Structure 1
Amino acid sequence: MSNQDKTISTLSHRARRTRYTLILAVSIIAALTIIILINLIVDRGFRSLSEQASPATRYLRYDFTATRQYSLSPQTLKVLKSLDNDYRLITVINATTPQEQRVPELVNEYKLYTNKITVEQINPTSDVKAIADFYDQLEGRYTKHLGPITQTVADGQALVSSVVDQLNPVVEQLKELAQSPEVKPNRTLSQLFASIVLNFSQQLKATEDINGTITTNLSTPLPAYQSAKSAIVNRLLEFDSVILAETISAFDKLSRSRSTPPATADAMLKINKSLNIVRDEIRRDVTKLQKVQSYLPYEEVRAAIQAKGFVAILADDEARIIPVSKMYRELPAEYTAAAGEPELGFIGEEQLTGSLISMSFNPPPLVIFVQSDGQDAFGEKGMYNQVGARLRTSNIQLAQWNPIPANSMDTLPKIENAQHTVWVVPAFPALDVTNPQHATIQAARDRTAQLIKERIAKGDSALVMMALDPLKEIASQNPIIAYLNKSWGIYPENDRVILSEQVQGRDTFAGTRFKITEWPTSLPITQSIKGMSAAALISSPIKLDDVEGIKQFAIMQITSPRMWTYKDFTDSTSYRTAEFDPETASSHFIIGVAAEGSPKSEAVSEIENESTAITTDNAENNRIIVTSTYAWATDFITTNADPNLTSQGQNQADVFGAAFPANSDLFVNSIYWLSGNDDLIAASPRSQDLRRVGAMTENGIFYSRLFLIGGLPIFVFVLGIAVWSIRRRD
């Protein structure tokens, strides 16, 4: 071999060694990286689980499902870590269906993340002694509260016995009278007495039997005391009105008839006297019975355990029962399975976590929706049913108030002592002097502004939604804007609308619809919805001024490279043809602000009609949120599954997931923050149930197919040629 060949061989050998060394180094680095990542995942799971979890569970569990189906939501984890009291979660379920089996699995997850929860599983079919002991313990929790109602039921049974004892001799008198020589030959009187005796005897027997029925029912676990009392009252009232009253009326009429023998008439009057004594006793004692009511928490628990399967949450002084049926929501009929059975969406975590949250409230916060336009907030025609349902799950009380009637201040919802109240003020209709209702709407708006100022001064909070008002009056004449600006340094410029250049096909137009994906992180309100999207339809900018003692935080802002504001309205839709205005252009606009501090303002008392300085009673906790896009929390957006927000997509969020889940979470988080429950704010179970990856577009599907059919084979072929060429050179 020549020296040249030796040199080439040496170089080739060195190249192979270098290449193999690099491959080995990369493999080692990749292996170490994988090991580190696995350890990070395991360590994260280890730290989040409590000591109650088994070693296998603490190290080997991880949820890779798209909707985190087998993981608890951040909100639940936050609630579990903040628990101060011990809770028992008891499932009473004969798990024979997949739906029922999922509930115990969910309950077991809760004990893995906190030492404050213990879990018990009871099969009501096979664990007879366990279920009996559970019912006894449950009833024992309410013994001290049930004294009045148990005594009332006993008094009712005694009243029934007294009535029966007094009327049994009357029945015998009626029978003797029916067989008397004066009555028996008279066919009319004879038939009448026969009918009265039969009805009287049957109804008296039915009244007597109710005592036995109630005694039997009271021997069952968690007796229905309220139902027992109602049964006694209804039976006695029915007997009084149907039998006693009609008998007395008939005898009174017959006793005055000339065709009735005198002896028979006298006997009828004596019977009526006895019946009237019994009637007086019934009406007097029934009135007493009606005044006593059973202990409501006991009756709620008793009614809930009648369900087929439930979960009981027991604390030291409170109990909640969640039927399995309430852990599922039925999806629309058009999405039923092939066999015709309705599809069910699981909301068990939302129910359990909501109950744990509600058990920490004493008293629960009150949220009052102001009916600015006179429409209901809840119900068949309500606009806030979705967010309202979520608040009710957490035991937050809801009410609504209509400020439009002149006497509306007399119909304010009742607020308990020490109950934190949040006022939700949707936008009032734009004022228009040509509108016959102009003066009425203006008076309602002014009345609401005065009320909000006074209530915030007393420690309440408010969520105020402003809307575009293209024909707006001077800002200082709007008392709501004047109060927000002077006391909080928040100035909604709702005489102008935010526009952006948007493209549809080949056309460019000024659009008002924005998708919000970037969230400020200064408050927990928005920290928990990072990565989620929200929709803002028609928005106005909010300007902020410094006010002593007030801290302001942006919570909603829209960003786009070419945005500007427009206020030169000739009509309410003239903005659609507006062109880009560099003078008002900005890359971002604030449309939602939260503020806290100690506001001071001049207010005019409606009672004394004089100017008075309002100073807050609770300066540290005064909070307010103002948005300049009013429809963001309505059902039209929160229940809509269509990214284009069409009417066809409304009420489909439970099926396909909300197109903009952040709208609902932002509202609920805002209520938590305004009510001082910051520790409850986190991504909710409902938002976790939504897939973060949306459906592929038609273009995406086309290019994916193109890559798989042509691109991938070509790539593999080229890679093979490259490897073959390298090996051939070696």
Structure 2
Amino acid sequence: AIVAESIAAGDVAIVDGPAGTTVIPGWQLFPASAVREGGEGTVVGFDRRFQGEETLVSAIRALRIGDMPQVVFVHAEDRSLLRDRDDGLEVAGVANALRTARFEVTEWIPGRTDRPAVDPRRRTVWFISPPLQRSGLEYDENEQALLDASTALIAEGEPVLLTVARSMLPLVGKPDPWSAVAASLGVEVDTGRVVFEWVPDGGEGASVRTWQAIDRHPESTKAPGGEVLDALRGKRFFVSHATPILVDESMDGSAVVLSAIRPNPLRWIEDDWRGDGVRIERMPSDGRFEEAVPVAVAVERFGIDGLQRLMVVGAGGWALSALVNEAGSLGGDRLVLANPGNRELAISGVAWLAGLDELVATASSGREVARFGGVTDAARTGWGFGLFVVLALGPLLLGTIVWSARRATT
């Protein structure tokens, strides 16, 4: 009956298998971004973000697995974060991607709505987002409820994807409860400090950059969580106001750094980030770091009920649609995701936390354009210098040869 009603409603794709049948509406195969109005009517444009094949694969996978995991977005906003907004200050992009992958998606606002009931037939993953804005130093009752809920979920052994943002409390000498919310699993976040970068503008002036676009991730590992690291390979991960993550390596279990900011002579860890560096007139002489600063980690350690999985990201806003859905043009109707690593970390991270390691690294959204791997900084510098020399001296040398040849024949 459901199949018949779906066919009657419009174009659909039907996936049939031994475990059952599922129906995919046509709008999921051809999203609005892949459809344009042409001279001959509505046509499907060539769009690098077309995810029809991923939708079909997800449907087949869901039939094979059965009950797909549930993802609960936990936040403290006074509105839903699952609805699209023009400014992109929501997580609808990630939520829609998870729905496309056949995950069940809902949200929970502690203190305002009831905690969603857990279905014993499916695993539940908790996706915790920090407040988008804070009105003062002290946390209001909504954020305190979110903090208490986060602490309880981790203490209960639930799989959690935790995002922790910077805080003003350490700047005034007060401890930040968010920094130690995952301390029981050996993970703390230095919320009082932020990674800055000094960016010369070509003249005598310069500015402070508060964001980082991470293209190179740590080396692959066979430890639990390494699957997510492989999924991020070659995909840019964009973070703003990144805070360092500290991992206690002495605890039993494994901890994998998924993304880290590499050392650079122009980068440092700022203790007083108020004003986003507007008052900084010259690059500080201290604060530089010699080792990569982790900003996303995955840990699997022993909790109250055995092994427990946790992911922590030290950058508020990395999962917002404004970053996840940001796209650049390749010309014509061709688009490419600007920050495919943000989307990949969310989807593959949820799959890993749910214990479905085989679902990690199956998304294709970040592979629209082939990316080079294994190119060192020295090779990149050498090629850049070589191209500069060729482009600058090549025409001059060619002109000299032509001039000499013509002069020799006259």
TM exceeds 0.5?
A: yes
If the length of structure 2 is used for normalisation, what is the TM-score? 0.79
Amino acid at match of 1:501: W
Which residue in the other structure is 2:101 paired with?
Answer: 394
User: Which of 468, 491, 495 is the aligned partner of 2:166?
Assistant: 468
Which residue in the other structure is 1:33 paired with?
Answer: none
Q: Does 1:385 align with 2:87?
A: no
Residue correspondence of structure 1 range 83-94 to structure 2 within 5 A: none
Partner deviation per Cα, 1:217-254 (whole Å, 9 max, x = no partner) = xxxxxxxxxxxxxxxxxxxxxxxxxxxxxxxxxxxxxx
Q: Does 1:452 align with 2:138?
A: no
Amino acid at match of 1:417: P
Does the 8 A contact of 1:665 with 1:683 survive in 2?
no
Give me the whole-angstrom Cα distance separating, in 2, the residues matched to 1:678 and 1:712.
Answer: 57
Query: Aligned pair in 2 of structure 1 residues 394, 683: CA closer, same or farther (>3 Å)?
Result: closer
Which residue in the other structure is 2:315 paired with?
Answer: 629
Q: Does 1:656 align with 2:335?
A: yes
Amino acid at match of 2:310: I
Does the 8 A contact of 2:74 with 2:146 survive in 1?
no
Residue correspondence of structure 1 range 23-102 to structure 2 within 5 A: none
For this pair of structures, how many residues does the alignment match? 375
User: Which of 8, 15, 30 is the aligned partner of 1:328?
Assistant: 30
Question: Quick check: which one's strand share is greater?
Answer: 2
Which residue in the other structure is 2:191 paired with?
Answer: 494
Give me the whole-angstrom Cα distance separating, in 1, the residues matched to 2:347 and 2:174.
Answer: 30
Identity %: 19
Amino acid at match of 1:368: V
Which residue in the other structure is 1:353 paired with?
Answer: 57
Give me the whole-angstrom Cα distance separating, in 2, the residues matched to 1:683 and 1:716.
Answer: 55
* Larger-gyration structure (1/2): 1
Amino acid at match of 1:461: P
Structure 2 counterpart SS, 1:305? helix
* 5+ residue gaps, structure 2: 373-383, 406-410
Question: Quick check: which one's helix share is greater?
Answer: 1
Give me the whole-angstrom Cα distance separating, in 2, the residues matched to 1:524 and 1:475.
Answer: 37
Query: Aligned pair in 2 of structure 1 residues 576, 655: CA closer, same or farther (>3 Å)?
Result: farther
Q: Give how far 1:565 is off.
A: 1.2
Residue correspondence of structure 1 range 182-193 to structure 2 within 5 A: none
Which residue in the other structure is 2:257 paired with?
Answer: 554
Which residue in the other structure is 1:210 paired with?
Answer: none
Amino acid at match of 1:395: R
Structure 1 counterpart SS, 2:149? helix
Query: Aligned pair in 2 of structure 1 residues 383, 512: CA closer, same or farther (>3 Å)?
Result: same
Give me the whole-angstrom Cα distance separating, in 1, the residues matched to 2:189 and 2:288.
Answer: 17
User: Which of 644, 666, 675 is the aligned partner of 2:345?
Assistant: 666
Give me the whole-angstrom Cα distance separating, in 1, the residues matched to 2:396 and 2:97.
Answer: 47
Structure 1 counterpart SS, 2:213? strand
Q: Does 1:525 align with 2:231?
A: no
CA RMSD of aligned residues (A): 3.6
Does the 8 A contact of 1:475 with 1:481 survive in 2?
no
Q: Give how far 1:433 is off.
A: 5.2
If the length of structure 1 is used for normalisation, what is the TM-score? 0.46
Amino acid at match of 2:367: Q
Q: Does 1:595 align with 2:299?
A: yes
Q: Does 1:639 align with 2:306?
A: no
Q: Does 1:504 align with 2:201?
A: yes
Query: Aligned pair in 2 of structure 1 residues 423, 350: CA closer, same or farther (>3 Å)?
Result: same
Give me the whole-angstrom Cα distance separating, in 1, the residues matched to 2:401 and 2:191.
Answer: 62
Q: Give how far 1:579 is off.
A: 4.0
Q: Does 1:542 align with 2:228?
A: no
Partner deviation per Cα, 1:55-78 (whole Å, 9 max, x = no partner) = xxxxxxxxxxxxxxxxxxxxxxxx
Q: Give how far 1:422 is off.
A: 0.9
Partner deviation per Cα, 1:270-327 (whole Å, 9 max, x = no partner) = xxxxxxxxxxxxxxxxxxxxxxxxxxxxx43222333665443222131123345532
Which residue in the other structure is 1:121 paired with?
Answer: none
Does the 8 A contact of 1:519 with 1:527 survive in 2?
no
User: Which of 329, 338, 341 is the aligned partner of 2:42?
Assistant: 341
Q: Give how far 1:427 is off.
A: 1.4
* 5+ residue gaps, structure 1: 1-298, 600-615, 644-651, 694-699, 722-730
Does the 8 A contact of 1:665 with 1:687 survive in 2?
yes
Does the 8 A contact of 1:638 with 1:660 survive in 2?
yes
Give me the whole-angstrom Cα distance separating, in 2, the residues matched to 1:559 and 1:327.
Answer: 39
User: Which of 301, 305, 316 is the aligned partner of 2:3?
Assistant: 301
Structure 2 counterpart SS, 1:448? helix
Query: Aligned pair in 2 of structure 1 residues 466, 385: CA closer, same or farther (>3 Å)?
Result: same
Give me the whole-angstrom Cα distance separating, in 2, the residues matched to 1:386 and 1:691.
Answer: 23
Does the 8 A contact of 1:488 with 1:550 survive in 2?
no
User: Which of 566, 587, 599 is the aligned partner of 2:270?
Assistant: 566
Query: Aligned pair in 2 of structure 1 residues 433, 638: CA closer, same or farther (>3 Å)?
Result: closer
Query: Aligned pair in 2 of structure 1 residues 306, 340: CA closer, same or farther (>3 Å)?
Result: closer
Does the 8 A contact of 2:208 with 2:276 survive in 1?
no
Does the 8 A contact of 1:638 with 1:661 survive in 2?
yes
Give me the whole-angstrom Cα distance separating, in 1, the residues matched to 2:14 and 2:44.
Answer: 25
Amino acid at match of 2:33: L
Structure 1 counterpart SS, 2:80? coil
Partner deviation per Cα, 1:116-152 (whole Å, 9 max, x = no partner) = xxxxxxxxxxxxxxxxxxxxxxxxxxxxxxxxxxxxx
Q: Does 1:440 align with 2:124?
A: no
Which residue in the other structure is 2:119 paired with?
Answer: 416
Partner deviation per Cα, 1:406-461 (whole Å, 9 max, x = no partner) = xx4xx1112111421111111136766577xx4413532342234323442xxx20
Query: Aligned pair in 2 of structure 1 residues 342, 446: CA closer, same or farther (>3 Å)?
Result: same
Structure 1 counterpart SS, 2:395? helix
Structure 1 counterpart SS, 2:264? strand
Give me the whole-angstrom Cα distance separating, in 1, the residues matched to 2:106 and 2:143.
Answer: 23
Q: Does 1:369 align with 2:73?
A: yes
Residue correspondence of structure 1 range 689-700 to structure 2 within 5 A: 689-690=368-369, 692=371
Structure 1 counterpart SS, 2:99? helix
Structure 2 counterpart SS, 1:306? helix
Q: Give how far 1:573 is off.
A: 3.4
Does the 8 A contact of 2:179 with 2:191 survive in 1?
no
Give me the whole-angstrom Cα distance separating, in 2, the residues matched to 1:342 and 1:331.
Answer: 12
Give me the whole-angstrom Cα distance separating, in 2, the residues matched to 1:395 and 1:493.
Answer: 35
Partner deviation per Cα, 1:147-201 (whole Å, 9 max, x = no partner) = xxxxxxxxxxxxxxxxxxxxxxxxxxxxxxxxxxxxxxxxxxxxxxxxxxxxxxx
Query: Aligned pair in 2 of structure 1 residues 433, 707: CA closer, same or farther (>3 Å)?
Result: closer
